[in-house]
A = this chain, B = another copy of it.
Amino acid sequence: MTKGVLLDLAGVLYEGDTAIAGAVAAVGRLRAAGLPLRFLTNTTRRPRRAILARLDRLGFEVAADELFTPARAARAVLSERGLAPHLLIHPDLAEDFAGSAAGGPDLAVVVGDAGPFFTFESLNAAFRVLDGGAAFLALAANRAFRDEDGLRSMDAGAFVAALEYAANRKAEVLGKPAPGYFAAALASMGVAAGDAVMVGDDAEADVAGALKAGVGAAVLVRTGKYTGGDETRAAPPPSATLAGIGAAVDWILSR
């Protein structure tokens, strides 16, 4: 019996600025069934404000508290540990860190998907801060994504790997597949991991990540970044691999 649902955003509910067919109705059916929902994205290119505005524009009714972003998780870590961030992120995301720089002497390098703002200079600056002993937080560790032209592009995880290799240290990943990210979303709706279902298009970060975090079931959808055979490339494998969010909601409601 499912008691709560975790949904990925890009590639599951929308692609770029277009809702995936049937997605608005599918989310509506979960709401109508009385299931609490949380939306877990690994996007670090856009601030919360822009993500919420896009969801609203596309017809999804999502409350601010229902949206989990890696930047939100990072803010919590910086605050708990009294760290000031050295940000290596896309400038569009900077507003989500407003005010967090007023920290003590201890720094944390925070890496998001800076895209074209990953330069030798910006990476090297972060490397030197790490070399000086700063904490090392990765908003996400995704390998690649499909950009607006349909071309595969290097995602934040690749640049985190570059810094990890140079500094010979490991980053603490805050977004999916970090167990703590799933745990925070589950706790906020008061649902035990085993009673929840995750729906995502990323076999590694969404599906295997959720299952490793104890989530009861995880559905891989064949939209977004999905490419044929993804369901065999991650472990644990998906509980089900379905055409899209509509079929995923059918599956959840019939369990």
Contact = CB atoms under 8 A, between A and B. Distances in A.
Interface centre among A115, A152, A157, A166 (most CB of B within 10 A): A166
A143 B127 CA distance: 11
Contact of A131 (B152, B160, B164, B165): B152
Nearest to A157: B165
Interface string A176-216: 00000000000000000000000000000000000000000
Q: Chain A interface residue count: which class?
A: 20 to 34
B162 A158 contact: yes
Interface string A145-163: 0000001111101111111
B120 A118 contact: yes
A151 B165 contact: no
Contacts of A120: 114-119, 154
A143 B169 CA distance: 11
Given A118-B120, A119-B119, A157-B166, 14 more contacts: A116-B119, A120-B154, A127-B153, A127-B154, A127-B158, A143-B166, A143-B167, A144-B166, A154-B162, A155-B166, A158-B162, A158-B165, A160-B165, A161-B165
Interface of A: 114-121, 123-124, 127-128, 131, 143-144, 151-155, 157-168
